Amino acid sequence: MAADPPPVVDPRPALPRSTVVLLALGGATAAAFGVAAMRGVVVPVFLAIILTLCVHPLHRRLYQRGFSRGAATVASIVAVLALVLSFALILALALARFSALLPQYASQLDQVGTTVSGMLASLGFNSSGTDAVQNGFTPESITGFIGDLLGGVTDAVGGLVIILTLLILMAVDGSRVPALLAYVRPHHPGLVSALIGFATGTRRYMVTTTVLGLAQGAFNALVLVLLQVPGALLWGLLSFICSFIPNVGYFIAIVPPLFFGFLSGGWQTVVIVIVVYGVINGAIQSVIQPKYVGDAVSLSETLTFVSVLFWAVVLGPLGAILAVPLTLLVRSILIDAEPSTWWRRALTGDRTDFEVLLEDEDAERRAFRAQRKARSSAPREGHA
């Protein structure tokens, strides 16, 4: 009896690629709108997850040294609560101090507003627009602007009850996560590896950025105090917060010190602030931070910038601060969890798999330049 012929496998996909792309875009859009609608829940939950990840090594070390699971959990909770409450207290004191100092510069603010509105009027702007600009240079308007600038952070501080409750609950649950991952690994090894990679990379990024941001903010605040710029402590805090916003944070953090530096010391202070902020920001983001973060993030500069814009639109100011961890989480779930899609990491900026190709390309380019230089110098030597 003849054997049955093998089944014919249709090589074509079940759906055309264009349909798959449109469905993916539609799903991503619906998910983005859903996350934006629930930002009041998503932001504190994700912030609590990040803080729990950052203090988890403390729990692990205490547990390995013989402390009970409960004692290690309590120590982790106390550590993260101390960090959050300290930051909230310093931010409140800085805002109060700034609000008390600002009325002293009311006359200068009014003069600046009059000058700017006069320039706009000479350019053809109508009176309603120039009046609105002039009214914006008042202590009350400036205080409101600073409040809006720090709106996401102050909202998070205002929701301390939710965040603190989540931190306590997550710290308790986090003590059982290693056992949970060990149980899930035989069933979904790719997902477990992706989550572990996300936790490790995010922790290294956040801890390094926090330490360097504290150093950057403290040094900036010290310089501003020496220059007698009003609100120096607040601008140091703003510099620390903006250190979590790649590419864009530097420009946000430098605007208020420049403005109030001009009011207090003129153009000389403005130039010093630009030089100090530029040198510190360049040294930290271009030299120190890449050395210690290494391949923990592996996101391209373009994707990092776009992620800041995207998460700021979806989740507000805190979305910009948490843009890198949020993007790493999305990549872990959509790419890292599936071994068949691992090659797509290269599209997000991970150069591990094609680093050799880049080195070969650079070597060929250097060899080409050397040959061209040799050919251009050969006629001169023969003529000599």
Instruction: Kindly list the distances between the CA atom of residue 136 and the CA atoms of 113, 149, 154, in Å, as whole numbers in the listed order.
Output: 7, 15, 22
Distances in Å between the Cα of 354 and the Cα atoms of 243, 291, 346 are 30, 20, 8
- Answer with the residue of higher pLDDT: 148 or 206: 206
Tens-place pLDDT, residues 331-347: 888 888 887 777 788 88
324 vs 151, which has greater pLDDT? 324
Most confident of 10-14, 97-101, 301-305, 327-331: 327-331
For the chain, what is the mean pLDDT? 77
**How much is the pLDDT for 310?**
92
Highest-pLDDT range among 178-182, 291-295, 372-376: 178-182
How does 276-299 read in b/e, with b if 16+ C-beta sit within 10 Å?
Answer: bbeebbeebbeeebeeebeebbbb
Q: Supply 140's token pair.
A: 């009350």
Q: Where are the domains of the chain?
A: 37-175, 188-342
Is the per-residue pLDDT at 3 higher than 60? no
Rounded (10°) angle between helices 232-242 and 69-101: 130
Write out pLDDT tens, residues 51-78: 888 887 887 788 778 777 778 778 877 8
Separation of alpha carbons 14 and 17, rounded Å: 9
81 compared with 123, residue with greater pLDDT: 81
Q: What does the alpha-carbon distance between residue 81 and residue 62 come to, in Å, rounded to a whole number?
A: 18
The answer to whether residue 155 scores a pLDDT higher than 60 is no
Is the pLDDT at 28 greater than 60? The verdict is: yes
Residue 293 · residue 200 · CB < 8 Å? no
**Higher pLDDT, residue 194 or 9:** 194
Question: What pLDDT does 326 receive?
Answer: 92
Q: How far is residue 271's CA from residue 286's CA, in Å, rounded to a whole number?
A: 22
pTM of the predicted protein model: 0.76
The angle formed by the CA atoms of residues 266, 134 and 154, to the nearest 5 degrees, is: 80
Q: How far apart are CA 108 and CA 117, in angstroms?
A: 14
Higher-scoring residue by pLDDT: 153, 200: 200
d(CA 193, CA 182): 11
Residue 134 has pLDDT above 70, yes or no: no
User: How far is Cα 291 from Cα 44, in angstroms, rounded to an integer?
Assistant: 30
Torsion of CA 99, 104, 109, 114, to 10 degrees: 140
Confidence of residue 14 (pLDDT cuts 50, 70, 90): low
d(CA 138, CA 17): 57
pLDDT surpassing 80 at residue 320? yes
Rank 9-23, 127-141, 208-222, 348-362 by mean pLDDT and report only the highest. 208-222
Reply yes or no on whether the pLDDT at 151 is more than 70.
no
Interval 231-242 mean pLDDT: 83
pLDDT at 294: 59
Mean pLDDT over 101-126 rounds to: 68
Segment 343-381, tens digit of pLDDT: 788 888 777 777 777 777 778 788 878 787 777 776 555
Residue 281 reports pLDDT greater than 70: yes
Question: Pick from 290, 296, 286: which is nearest to 327 by CA?
Answer: 296
The b/e string for 68-98 (b: 16+ C-beta within 10 A; e otherwise) is: eeeebbbbbbebbbeebeebbeebeebbeeb
Confidence category of residue 317, pLDDT binned at 50, 70, 90: confident
Residues 1-12 have a mean pLDDT of: 54
Q: How far from 308 is each of 25, 209, 246, CA to CA, in Å?
A: 19, 16, 7
Residue 122 backbone zone (phi > 0: left; psi -120 to 50: alpha; other: beta): alpha
Per-residue model confidence as pLDDT tens digits over 194-228: 888 888 888 888 888 888 888 888 888 898 888 88
